[in-house]
Chains A and B, each alone.
Chain A
């Protein structure tokens, strides 16, 4: 159980389903006169098929084009004229739209989101424009950035059967290939109320909001098509995958990625804390060993993908100028091996718990963040109250479980090792 001295605000909320299957979550907080209106659709890049990578994200762009009642390009105009801000993002597992509005404009947000869900309208001119915009987004975020291909290459090398093998941005070929009919089918299949969560947080009255939600959303018909979910399971311990990626960046980046269980499982929490031990803060093991003591790396840390299906944890080190990349890899491996053999100390466990407590207290600082967290917890676990209780799952993790997780997942046969090295002739076209 949660120890008594962990003190944070408890997030209160109400939730219910409309008849069409739309799940609604409402959180009331009057500190600031603003309201976050958000809709999360349970569709991401893992719902894409081979040859149509990037579809979910491309589609997210198109859903700002307009609807039966909203002219092309008017979404942002309505919101910004009202003094609000809007945007969206797409992950492997879900697509998330939001409007941050002055609280007297709640109804506008509901109208806009219900139009998007009921009858979005996408014209050819919009498709062609956004196709180019998305390609620029890919160039700007990936192709033209130092080590921009890091995630892409790691995912590609790690997954053979699961669609996590490509990132949400997709490939240029697939972006070019997407047709109008693909979008129509995608919309009919995934953009239905029974595949969405409407989560609203901020300066609202719960009862009035319920009435408005009923007004705008209850008339939207439930989806009739079966919603496909990938069933492929990426096996563990497939044997080590090792490769060198040549590029124009000057310093060598060393990546070691391990297959891990899905978020929300007991083992996931142990892996997440192990990762925290390795990489959170200056005193974390990878930083302390590789950056501070051995002086082999400019940076060394780790990152875990919280994914609905079994995913990856990635440790990476940026080698110092002149440092031998093999020594860097070895230094990282030594840290993994150490956790397998030596039990972490009570003090270290307490440190991890203190860090978790601090993060837990800090993270619900904005209504937009609260709306998203509530939607997340409902969509993936069917339990929005995890916003208040997930920390208990972390606090229940023992030292032994962390050691067991290291032994089970941080193995040679379960990893991908990539070196991103400088090729003076690289042009990366």
Chain B
């Protein structure tokens, strides 16, 4: 039978093909579509374990693989001065368990050719079906028994800080950051940003607390997709996640942020940028899984959705060629959603591009869209929906949304009907509600020179210049033309008393106090013949710490601990006692560049970027009026941790012919050390024995 049918079909095919070839093809005829194919949505099944873990299973046997994901359904979390700890806790689930080190975890995953990752909101992975038993043992170990090892924590902090440094030249992450700070504000978790300071404040305890509080089965979904049956998945879930202990998780709610009462222009300077990253954004109230969300999605696709037909794409790319791509987004969210429209455009057209964005936003509010436009967009969305079904993960996402947002069970089955029902009037009403061309944050990350032309878009007439984290950008004024770093160093030496006077100081003794938190120490520094150095710290007469350099060798001791100075420390000690250090910078392989004039703590300061012989940088600040050094700032590293180190020199006063700072503050990460110099004796008699290392 079957064969006969084939032969019959074959004959028909030949007949058709012969007939077609005989007439010349009229290429101007657009081919008609065939009958629309039926769109089938895959099914899912659900179960709830005794500990409250909800299991969602989507069977798809096309490929012999299975993916597993644990999704936590949590309210947003306000992290405050420790912003970033939740995501660190999530990352570090895989840094070690009671039974396995990080290296062992990594090795096991890679050996299976599997993937596994973790975040603040869950654990996700996939593997070939034949490895699923072993894979799940590992996944449940990571989920149930993480230990957040100290060394991995330290490493994580260091890498997070390096990552932050890297973001400082990434215009897209800067744009995301400043957009979040602006549209959600400081009082909403979505508006929090991670900075060097917040990262340095995070402790291991914060991570453990986060994990203990929020990683609970009663707020979690286990989504299983792939070559597996529902019964198999249920047995696996019980075996590997049944021991996970439930505990109530507190809920949180936050005030809805409000849109600005007129347009604000927020500019983040990025030196050397050849494009401006424009984002016009504000928060909105739009809940996922609602009819409104579907209308809003149609509206967004007309304005700036993913296709080439959107108005923003046609206007800014295909007509004006300002950009490679212009897009908008309307995001529905249980807590607070957002509108965003943006593009990367060349510097010269930044203001023209903003004009076009605002024009298109205004136009979609004022004018009803054409029926044909609406139909095109429905067709595009219909196609997007159909194509998304190729991936079984889509069905899993649908299931998760239905459960999380308590949607009608047939929400996705009837999605295409609801889409077709959207009218021109619906779209315009939604535009009036959600599109706000006069109540937006217009954020631009780009070259400083393009900012001036943007003031016309601000209600206040002013461009707010900020850093990516929303803090005010301190603008450097240009230094006088021709001023070099050597001039600034020479001025400092002159203000200290001049080269001749400083050269006469062969020896000196400083007495003072040093305080570090609750600890107060007496400090004594002796320098002899410009080459021998000794510093002692005593507490109640008891020696606490000592540092001696005899001209060739040096030691440091603290209590019974004693160590020899290495080459770096010796170089640093020499630098420390050299009263002409700044003048000798160049001779010693330093190079300085005058960046400009800053205003800090009420004084005008020259800012110098100083490159050390080892390639690292220090930023030094010198008082414009007095010439004296005010502070130096650098990024230091110790014991695997990076931190900002700042030394501030205050209260300069004369001893003989020489000026000295009497108050010195050293800030190294969270640690603050205050030094006060109470007495300074020039060229005293100092015994050589003081510098004996033995």
Q: Which residues of A contact B (CB under 8 A)?
A: 5, 7-9, 31-34, 68-69, 73, 76-78, 80-86, 100-108, 110-111, 114-115, 118, 128-137, 139-141, 143-146, 203, 207-208, 211, 214-216, 218-219, 248-251, 280-284, 288, 291-292, 295, 298, 318, 320-322, 324-325, 347, 350-351, 354-359, 361-362, 364-367, 421-422, 424-429
Contact = CB atoms under 8 A, between A and B. Distances in A.
Interface string B145-169: 0000000000100110111011011
B109 interface: yes
B20 A211 contact: yes
Interface stretch (B111-119, B398-406, B652-660): B111-119
B617 to A, nearest CB: 7
A145 B170 contact: yes
Contact of B106 (A8, A103, A214, A282): A282
15 contacts: A5-B130, A69-B28, A73-B314, A73-B318, A76-B307, A80-B308, A108-B31, A144-B171, A144-B344, A146-B170, A283-B111, A295-B155, A321-B642, A357-B113, A361-B65
B37 A81 contact: no
B13 A82 contact: no
A321 B162 contact: yes
A358 B307 contact: no
| Across the A-B interface, the 8 shortest Cβ-Cβ residue pairs | A83-B383, A358-B113, A33-B37, A132-B321, A76-B308, A281-B110, A104-B34, A282-B106
Given A8-B64, A103-B37, A250-B165, A428 B130 contact: no
A356 B111 CA distance: 11
Interface string B52-80: 00000000001111000000000000000
Contacts of A143: 274-275
A428 B107 contact: no
A265 to B, nearest CB: 24
B17 A203 contact: no
Contact of A76 (B28, B169, B272, B309): B309
B138 to A, nearest CB: 13
Contact of B161 (A31, A111, A129, A321): A321
A354 B387 contact: no
Contacts of A114: 27
Given A211-B16, A281-B106, 11 more contacts: A83-B380, A114-B27, A136-B275, A146-B169, A248-B272, A250-B165, A282-B110, A283-B109, A424-B593, A424-B611, A429-B274
Interface stretch (B260-268, B434-442, B633-641): B633-641
Given A85-B307, A211-B13, A140 B390 contact: no
Interface string B294-332: 000000000000111100001001110111110000000
Contacts of A82: 33, 379, 383
B585 to A, nearest CB: 16
B43 to A, nearest CB: 15
A288 B106 CA distance: 9
Interface of B: 9-10, 13, 16-17, 20-21, 25, 27-28, 30-39, 62-65, 102-103, 106-107, 109-114, 127-128, 130, 155, 158-159, 161-163, 165-166, 168-171, 271-275, 277, 306-309, 314, 317-319, 321-325, 344-346, 375-376, 379-380, 382-384, 386-387, 389-391, 593, 595, 609, 611, 614-617, 635-637, 640, 642
Contacts of A73: 314, 318
Nearest to B308: A76
A34 B385 CA distance: 11
B309 A80 contact: yes
Given A76-B308, A83-B379, A111-B30, A9 B37 contact: no
Contacts of B127: 358
Nearest to A73: B318
B275 A144 contact: yes
Nearest to B313: A76
Nearest to A357: B113
Contacts of A288: 103, 106
Contacts, number: 264
Contact of B31 (A84, A111, A135, A422): A111
B169 to A, nearest CB: 5
A131 to B, nearest CB: 8
A68 B25 CA distance: 14
B37 A251 contact: no
A144 B270 CA distance: 10
A371 B442 CA distance: 42
A7 B64 CA distance: 7
Contacts of B16: 211
Interface of B is mostly: mixed
Contact of B63 (A291, A324, A365, A421): A365
Nearest to A31: B62
A263 B323 CA distance: 35
A298 B163 contact: yes
Contact of B110 (A101, A115, A207, A351): A351
A240 to B, nearest CB: 21
Contacts of B162: 251, 298, 318, 320-321
A359 B113 CA distance: 8
Nearest to A131: B321
Contacts of A281: 106, 109-110
A373 to B, nearest CB: 15
Contacts of A421: 615
Contacts of A426: 271-272
A429 B169 CA distance: 14
Contact of A365 (B107, B386, B391, B617): B391
A351 B21 CA distance: 55
Contacts of B309: 76-77, 80
Contacts of A218: 21
A78 B33 CA distance: 11
B37 A139 contact: no
Given A33-B38, A298-B159, A320-B159, A249 B28 contact: no
Given A143-B275, A298-B159, A283 B25 contact: no
A424 B106 contact: no
A354 B112 contact: yes
A421 B271 CA distance: 16
B386 A215 contact: no
A283 B103 contact: yes
Given A105-B33, A358-B113, A367 B379 contact: no
B169 A248 contact: yes
A362 B127 CA distance: 10
Nearest to B636: A322
Contacts of A365: 63, 390-391
B274 A107 contact: no
A322 B637 CA distance: 7
Contacts of B9: 207
Contact of A424 (B318, B617, B636): B617
B33 A108 contact: yes
A133 B375 CA distance: 28
Contacts of A347: 111
A70 to B, nearest CB: 9
B161 A33 contact: no
B110 A129 contact: no
B644 to A, nearest CB: 11
A69 B169 CA distance: 46
B38 A295 contact: no
A194 B102 CA distance: 54
B27 A69 contact: yes
Contact of A139 (B30, B63, B106, B344): B344
A250 to B, nearest CB: 4
A137 B63 contact: no
Given A80-B376, A115-B27, A322 B616 contact: yes
Given A251-B162, A282-B106, A85 B33 contact: no
Contacts of A32: 386-387, 389-390
Nearest to B309: A80
B111 A351 contact: yes
Given A82-B33, A248-B271, A321-B162, A350 B111 contact: yes
Given A322-B642, A367-B390, A292 B275 contact: no
